[in-house]
Structure 1
Amino acid sequence: MEYTILGDSKAKGPLRPLPSLAAAFSVVLTTVLSLVAPAPAATAQAAATGTVLGGVPIDTPHVNGTVWATAYGGDTVYLGGDFTAVIVAGRAHVRAGLAAFDAATGALLPWAPVANGRVRAIAADGDHVHIAGSFSQMNGLPRDSLASVTVESGTVLPFRHFVSGQPYSVAVHSGRLYIGGAFTAVDGQSRGNLAAFNLATGLLDPAWRPTADDHVNGLAINSGRLYVGGKFHTIDGQRGVRRIAALNPATGAIDPGFRSSLVYAVIGLGVNQGGVYAAVAGPGGRLTAMAHTGAVRWSITTDGDPQAVALLDGIVYVGGHFDNVCRTSRVASTNGDCLDGRTTRVKLAAVTEDGVLTPWIADGNGVTGVHTLTADPTRRRLAAGGAFTTINREPRARFAQFA
């Protein structure tokens, strides 16, 4: 197994765990203090290879408030958050919670819809961008926590609904828009933290109504499944789907082929053909890899919660408010500090699909760190957003793009 770091022809060779890390990366975490042998699925990934992006992000403008959401669409990367301006060469350009950059050059684009509150999630779909958050207006028009706009001009579409609560995540698949979050109803119809809309008609799907018993933080679609992750213990009253479940995107029915028993809440999700990767909370925090059956393949522990996951070229990128990757799963119950040694990775880290920490260094700063990661496999880009102001001590206020 080998790694390559783009932009550094010397940084290539056999990929081995850092000293004393082997135990942490070859076992499965079942609780914060107990370990069992790795699942057989873990050994099937032994031949995996990965190409790590460069740790120096390309030059991009600065953002003056927290970035909560990123999404690629065509040649553009979209940002959503709490910001009011984007700073280019010292000049402030007004952007009310939404902005767009050229994915190749990092240049600010004129696209500038106006949200009057936090933008929490974005999904780009062809000619449209779908937006969720805690706003009540978009471009001065009433839009309760959910809106769709055009990619060309940011013109608000007629798509309009009333959400009793707040959506935290959005996803688009086969003509449907899915939302997950903390809400009890949409348009006066009962919905338990999950809902779907027909994009052809703009209407709430009356038949798609799985009910999660607690918040849904992340959505990810792969191979005919909609994976949902969050704080919930049951969906439709069924157990065996604790924290993560796989749903039928068309019907909302639970897929019985995936079973989860994760202990702590899932904050972010990433999915590919190799499996499901979850940013998991708890004392410290952990990045956990699962097979498409739900069986845990491996888990690594950090001294703060991972909050976002993105997959690119055989590498799992994770962002959060951690400062270190722990050498074992043991952490202090009071503050999550690593008890058996640590390897510094500040707010960002890269791990192979086998669960081996790579030498990639892209250290951020701040307290809450990275809130969102999105990969663009076409251009081999990684977008990171959050509350950081530097990456590897270079100014990158709240948004960075790696290539």
Structure 2
Amino acid sequence: MRRTRGLSVALATALAAGLAAAVAPQAGAISESVAFTADDLPTWQTNGIVWALAQADGVVFAGGTFSAVRPPEGETGSEQQVANFVALDAATGAPTDCDLSFTVGSGTATVRAMAVSPDQQTLYVGGYFGAVNGTAVSSVAAIDIDTCTPRTGFNAAFPATVRALAVTGDTVYAGGDFTSVNGQPRERFAAVAAGNGALRPFTADVDEPGRAIEVTPDGQHALIGGDFFTVNGQNSHALAVVDAVRGDVEKAYPAGFIPNTSVVKDIDTDGTGFYTGNEGTGGGVFDGRIALDYGTFDQRWRDTCLGATQAVESYQDVLYSASHAHDCSSVGEFPDGRRQHFLAQPTTSTAKLGWFPDTNDGLGEGIGPRAITISSKNGVDYLWSGGEFTTVNGAAAQGLTRFASTGDVGAPTVPVIGADAVEPGKVKVRWRTSMDDDDSRLIYKIYRNGSSTPIGTVEADSVYWERPQASFTDTGVTPGSSYSYRVTASDPAGNTSALSATASVTVPKTAEPYASSVLADGPNLYWRHDEKTTPYVGDSSAGDQSGVMSGGPALGEAGALTSGGTSFRFDGSDDRLYSDRRTTVGTSYSLETWFRTTTTSGGKLVGFGNNTTRNSGSYDKHIYMANDGRLFFGAYSGATRTVNSLTRYNDGKWHHVVGTQGAGGMALYVDGVRVARNTAYTTHQSYAGYWRVGGDALSGWPSRPSSDNFAGQIDEVAVYPTVLGADRVAAHHQQATKQGDTVTSVQASEDTYVNEGSKSTAYGSATSLAVRGSSGYEAYLRFALPAAPAGTTLTGAALEVRTDSSATAGSADAVTLRPVTGEWTEAGTTWNTKPALGPSTLGTLTPPAASNSGATAELDVAAVRAALGGDYGVALTGTGTDALWLWSSEAPSAAGTPRLILTFSPQ
């Protein structure tokens, strides 16, 4: 995606000159190349469909089929009666005093096309109507813009609907349903004099309706589009280039260039070429956009997204389009699913830019937006759209909407984060990238232990169909200590999300046996299924291929590993996971996971497919279970190729399964042992797609189970870009039974502090603890220590505390930790009765400077080890004069309670 940029100097200067806030919001940065924010502005609404837009000198003209306009939702004002037309101020979105009524004696009048003369003096309107403000016309009218009145000298007669208009200095071109103009034969395209409407010699007769017409910048060629199959008797479907004077065909487009099931709905031009918006019906349709060059009139690029493009508008090297795009997988973007009604892309390529305002489908045919125009006023640009929508960006807005080049006020969504630590000295903080409708590149800041100063900043790209994981590796951590992390997302304008939820992790003293073994073999996806919240599934590998939950698998069930962790339970109905980034698979790969089930309906455990939430159309490289519990590993290479187990594994026990494919063929391993192999099956189907867990299509595969979806637990999914050897598969299986570190959190059972300034006062019920050298405060903590688990020894002990919410809670003075040797109670201890302390130092705490911030201090492991199985007291003392205030065990939130983090490692 594109990086983000600031506004131009000219625009910034115009804003600095003092534009009114209601007209021109404050400048903000938006996606590079995109000229508009995605934040819709308050705009007057219609009670019907807007089919056409045009603009002149800061006024936007809207025409269609509607009888009233009303103020924006929630704003004051009265509804106004109109007749299929309204003129609006581009900057305020409110009607001007230009009032035109387009009516017809019988039937339903409608405005379908509008164009403004190059001198901005005349508005030409086409559609189906017989009068304008009572003045008789015939489906085309010329309007004097300055006086807002029909030009009576313009007398062109079109006996049927006009659907497209284009204007040069002396000629008006029209396309539509008509077969004559001014009583003379003209089949669906014609040209008349701009001054009086007299018929021009231009003849470009077509056999089906005309829907679009534009003239090239040099005035030499007319570009026509519609439903037709012939032009002047010559084969050319939906699009043709004709001479602007005579109408002779200069470029025909043969059958297949645009499929017979598709038509051209709109054409736009710029200095480099022209663009078509296309709509199709039935199979094999083309619904996207084509860019063509002048000179040869050949195709520059073709965007094959599906979803009925209604309007295209080129502006500042970006093509804006209105459609209901629902499937752009053919150009490497979003798969078939939700509809997106506005898109922006460079005029040089099909790649979508980060601009995603949206509407609903709305009224009528359920198309959404149908027209676009761009107007400027007071140095601000406005993109206007009209159509049949009834909501914009999720809020009520009918028929009209607009977006400005300034005023980006929308903050990115809050990041969804996780953290894990597999080896000593490193924490991987990871998050699903956020979504911002007008910024594809966002800035993320990572905060540790409640500090207000970030420990790192990461930039990452995301669009709504691809929000890949971003990550930050924190190496400033101590083994055996716990850390908490939060992340914010900001756009370049400074709009910042709220802090994410907290992700906490304890850094191990020794590497986790299974996870470190997996990571040593270089997976490009590793989902450990230890999440506690939905819908994000974190990737512990360097590939950062996070996942998304669909359907809602159950979280937090006991996992497959002896060392701990959790698994996901899938319901066999609609619970699935899919990777958040479209990818391809090389010639060699391996799939690995653990599962436990008693199902008799089978289902897919893990595989690759070309869709996300829906069943895929292409699907292979998968491991699935038959109804009888046998496991199959399959890939498609012109036919389904599988190897399978003879043993049944739906026995309610945890099993480890690996499938590999490469130059040596396919192999299937279960519980560390190879159970099937075929050396001839070396290839698979090549396509871009997504990793899927828990379910996807299985139609056509051997021993197809009753269900595509797996019912049971799945844990520790990994995908490798290489073939795992038999020794590594066996090693992974063996490591799963090994015990890693056991981390125990022990909350203080009692705590208090004493105050030299109030020597007889007990503070055992206080919500805070205090430490200072002069005048003195000391704090005391008591912990009930567990015994070491069998086969382990204590390798780490850390004290975790948190400053309270007072403004002066932090301190610049170090705190010494010492053992408490004397007797004391929480309720009865005062300065006068404070306990004796041992001479040794257990550790040193460096306090945070801010309030509500965490801090950790390593304790003498040998001293704590000797006290396991009994009570242990720790004193916090100081020599400085800057008091430290900490939450006590009586704190309103348990997150601030002092605690010991004990790490037990295998002996």
TM-score in terms of structure 1 length = 0.81
Amino acid at match of 2:150: V
Corresponding residue for 1:110?
97
1:319 maps to which of 305, 319, 322: 322
The aligned amino acid for 2:79 is A
Q: What is the alpha-carbon root mean square deviation over aligned residues?
A: 2.5
Q: Deviations over 1:55-113 (max 9, x none)?
A: 11222111111100000112211000111111123411122111111122322101111
Which letter does structure 2 place at the counterpart of 1:185?
Answer: S
Contact 1:308/1:319 (8 A) holds in 2 = yes
**Paired amino acid for 2:290:** T
1:232 aligns with 2:232: no
Deviation for aligned residue 1:329: 6.7
Q: Deviations over 1:274-332 (max 9, x none)?
A: 32211112236212222333333322233421111111111111112x252421179xx
Q: In structure 2, what residue type is equivalent to 1:9?
A: A
Q: SS where residue 265 of structure 1 aligns? A: strand
1:215-364 paired onto structure 2 within 5 Å? 215-224=209-218, 225-239=221-235, 241-256=236-251, 259=253, 261-263=257-259, 264-282=262-280, 283=285, 285-292=287-294, 293-320=296-323, 322-328=324-330, 341-342=335-336, 344=338, 346-353=340-347, 354-364=349-359
Cα distance change of structure 1 residues 208 and 176 upon mapping to structure 2, 3 Å threshold: same
Q: Which has the higher contact order (CA 8 A, sep 6+)?
A: 1
The answer (yes or no) to whether the contact 1:220–1:269 under 8 Å persists in 2 is yes
| Aligned-pair CA distance for 1:250 | 2.7
Q: For residues 118 and 201 of structure 1, do their structure 2 counterparts lie closer, same or farther at Cα, with a shift above 3 Å needed? A: closer
Q: Distance in 1 between matches of 2:356 and 2:30?
A: 15
- 1:209 aligns to what SS in structure 2? coil
- Aligned residue in 2 for 1:151: 145
| Mapped partners of 1:364, 1:179: distance in 2 | 30
Change (3 A) 1:10 1:275: closer
* Partner Cα separation in structure 2 for residue 401 and residue 60 of structure 1: 7
SS of residue paired to 1:305: coil
Distance 2:144 2:85 in 1: 13
Please say if residues 124 and 142 of structure 2, whose CA atoms lie closer than 8 Å, have aligned partners that are also in contact.
yes
Which of 63, 86, 92 pairs up with 2:46?
A: 63
Structure-2 separation of matches of 1:149 and 1:358: 37
Change (3 A) 1:10 1:272: closer
Supply the distance in 2 between the matched residues of 1:185 and 1:286 (Cα, whole angstroms).
32
Runs of 4+ in 1 over 6 A off after TM superposition: none
What secondary structure is seen at the aligned counterpart in 2 of 1:262? Answer: coil
**1:219/1:232 Cα in 2 relative to 1: closer, same or farther (>3 Å)?**
same
The code of the aligned residue for 1:156 comes to P
Report if aligned partners of 2:31, 2:355 keep a CA contact under 8 Å in 1.
no
Choose 241-250 or 261-270, whichever is displaced more: 241-250
CA shift for structure 1 position 396: 2.6
8 Å Cα contact 2:216/2:269 also seen in 1: yes
Mapped to 1, the partners of 2:196 and 2:330 lie a distance apart of: 51
CA displacement, residues 192-238 of structure 1 (integer Å, 9 cap, x when unaligned): 11111112333122x22221222110112223222111111221112
Distance 2:327 2:317 in 1: 20
Task: Tell me if 1:370 matches 2:364.
Answer: no
Amino acid in structure 1 at the alignment position of 2:57:
G
Q: How does 1:377-392 map to 2 (within 5 A)?
A: 380-392=381-393
From the CA coordinates, give the structure whose radius of gyration is larger: 2
Matched residues in 2 for 1:63 and 1:153: separation?
24
Secondary structure of residue in 2 paired with 1:351: strand
The one of 157, 162, 165 equivalent to 1:162 is 157
Q: Contact 1:300–1:325 (CA<8 Å) still a contact in 2?
A: no
1:70-219 pair list within 5 angstroms: 70-88=53-71, 89-116=76-103, 117-125=109-117, 126-158=120-152, 159-205=154-200, 207-219=201-213
Partner SS for 1:363? coil
Change (3 A) 1:3 1:85: farther
CA-CA distance at 1:154 after TM superposition: 2.5
SS in 2 for 1:163: coil
CA distance, structure 1, for counterparts of residue 250 and residue 178 of structure 2: 23
- Distance of aligned partners of 1:166 and 1:349 in 2 relative to their CA distance in 1, 3 Å threshold: same
Whole-angstrom distance in 1 between the partners of 2:230 and 2:130: 30
Q: Do the aligned residues in 1 keep the contact of 2:155 with 2:196 (CA within 8 Å)?
A: no
Q: Aligned letter for 1:132?
A: G
* Cα distance change on mapping 1:10 and 1:235 into 2, 3 Å: closer
SS in 2 for 1:328: helix
Equivalent AA in structure 2 for residue 268 of structure 1: D
Task: For residue 344 of structure 2, give the secondary structure of its aligned residue in structure 1.
Answer: strand
**Post-superposition offset of 1:372:** 0.8
1:393 is matched with 394
CA separation in 2, counterparts of 1:250 and 1:221? 11
Which moves more between the two structures, 156-165 or 70-79? 156-165
Higher strand share: 1
Question: Could you tell me how far apart the structure 2 residues matched to 1:155 and 1:164 are?
Answer: 22
The more displaced of 104-113 and 167-176 is: 104-113
Between the two proteins, the alignment pairs up a number of residues equal to 354
Provide the rounded CA distance (Å) in 2 between the counterparts of 1:164 and 1:360: 41
Corresponding residue number in structure 2 for 1:19: none
Name the CA shift for 1:279/1:233 in 2 (closer, same or farther; >3 Å).
Answer: same
Q: Counterpart in 2 of 1:30?
A: none
Is 1:3–1:52's contact at 8 Å kept on the other side of the alignment?
no
Match of 1:29 in 2: none
Letter of the 1:308 counterpart: A
Contact 2:2 2:353 in 1 (8 A): no
Q: Given the superposition, is the C-alpha separation of residues 109 and 373 from structure 1 closer, same or farther in structure 2, using an over 3 Å criterion? A: same
Check whether the contact 2:59–2:375 (CA below 8 A) recurs between aligned residues: no
Q: What do residues 248-297 of structure 1 show as CA deviations (whole Å, max 9, x unaligned)?
A: 223323334x7563222111112212322111122362122223333333
TM-score, normalised with respect to structure 2? 0.37
CA distance, structure 1, for counterparts of residue 183 and residue 116 of structure 2 = 27
Q: Contact 1:51/1:315 (CA < 8 Å) preserved in 2?
A: yes
Per-residue CA shift, 1:177-205, capped at 9, x if unaligned? 11111110012100011111112333122
Task: Give the conservation status (yes or no) of the 8 Å contact 1:4–1:52.
Answer: no
2:90–2:375 CA contact under 8 A, matched in 1: no
Supply the AA of the counterpart residue of 1:351: Q
Q: Take 1:377 and 1:140, find their aligned partners in 2: how far apart are those partners? A: 32
Q: Distance in 2 between matches of 1:399 and 1:302?
A: 25
287-296 or 187-196, larger mean C-alpha shift: 287-296
